[in-house]
Structure 1
């Protein structure tokens, strides 16, 4: 087999990976995986001593001030998840301070499946996403992760050109209020279709099932509505505003426990939707790389506006 290395993987990092392989194993191929925003992700094909191959995944953070913290948190999350039914990668090694690699890095097992971002098959995937999120929120770790963080404020929201100004003004007023109290849950904090793997192609034989949940860099403790709102907003921008509202309902139908007060549910749904206004280009670029070329920045801004209007209509 011919070695084929991605030149973006630096020599020190490759040497570090080799130090965590079994005797007789070697790296024969590296392949960049698209879809990540904060980290570079690559699949490493490993030739085994017995003549077969296996895959690992390398996550590398370059130029990210909080990378060491995120990798420590991800390593802890993967360790926790190894003893649960949540399908997550298994931790192989982590170098959060870049003591051995050029940049902070984490090595983990590769999971089967693929992300599914197309409209086809969405009806079947949404209940699966909801049930998977309920299972994540049911975890009760002996040591809780750090408390959740939010960054969007009424002052940082960017109202898109041509947006419904009245609806956005009302939405911004919602997040001027302090966060509502709520029971804490174990949160993924970036649970959305781009971080979930499925095992079947749309329209293929057999039922669709989830084979993995990835990107555990920011596990947190906080209200379940944060994760619900984030997945809902992603679905709204990927597939249309109605899917954001449908996911919130699907989560409850799957046995999830959102806030009892409608005003609290509205707060988190609105807050997460508004957070996208600050990074539409950053969020939509991986979707275009994955084949959703119609999701231009302007198109996503239009969906975001429609979603904010829908939220204010549903919960106003």
Structure 2
């Protein structure tokens, strides 16, 4: 395979040497291995060793050069069509915060990277690298990418992530956006993304007695409805309790989970909520347990409401 023009230009520098190139390569190989020459950044030696190699470069060699940030050495490897590049190259460069290396690999190589590139860059707080990956790379990132964008109120970064992968994980980002009251960010996450995995956003909205947000989230099929119902009951939000009962998808209750809704309402003395639950969803209420609890707590008003509904 023909060498790149830059590689041919590099070799012309040796045209006036007294030894032929092959002989020069043999001499150099006695003094240095390719790995040693790369580590010492001996550009001329590296070029000759690559031009005269009679075997493929060792696996992982180019990747380790990328991870070390030796851009000039990696450029020589690329020019001489060195073997052994993999996704580890960009992963390692991102982990080390070598933005110039990441940029070069993005423009000149086809191996790409894995989601570890962004995760490791985030871990090391190389945020310029993170931003470059989000803006330019097509890989599907973990949920940490959208969460980082939400934490930094970076709406464009969220749009970049979802523009390349509509189903990118966004559950954690949705919670962050809700907690930080980033209404536009939250709408972009739900309306421009298609991640179907549930988040705790509805649970938090119900705990905050935020009826309008609860309506918005149930309309988009948000999950953890049983937990959301418990939070609405604990907050005494009768309108949200009614909304969830009428609009949320049916939930499968175990004997244990049937205790929770009526117990929460009984403990809080929320008579209107207790009345609504026993009239509208008695199958999801353990009335006997609630009566026992009310007797222990001496909540006569709750007892008066519950006892007529005790099973025979």
Question: In which range does the TM-score fall when normalised by the shorter chain?
Answer: under 0.3
Which structure shows the higher helix fraction?
2
Q: Could you tell me the TM-score, scaled by structure 2's length?
A: 0.24
Higher radius of gyration, 1 or 2: 2
Say which structure, 1 or 2, has more relative contact order (CA 8 Å, 6+ apart). Answer: 1
* Structure with greater strand percent: 1
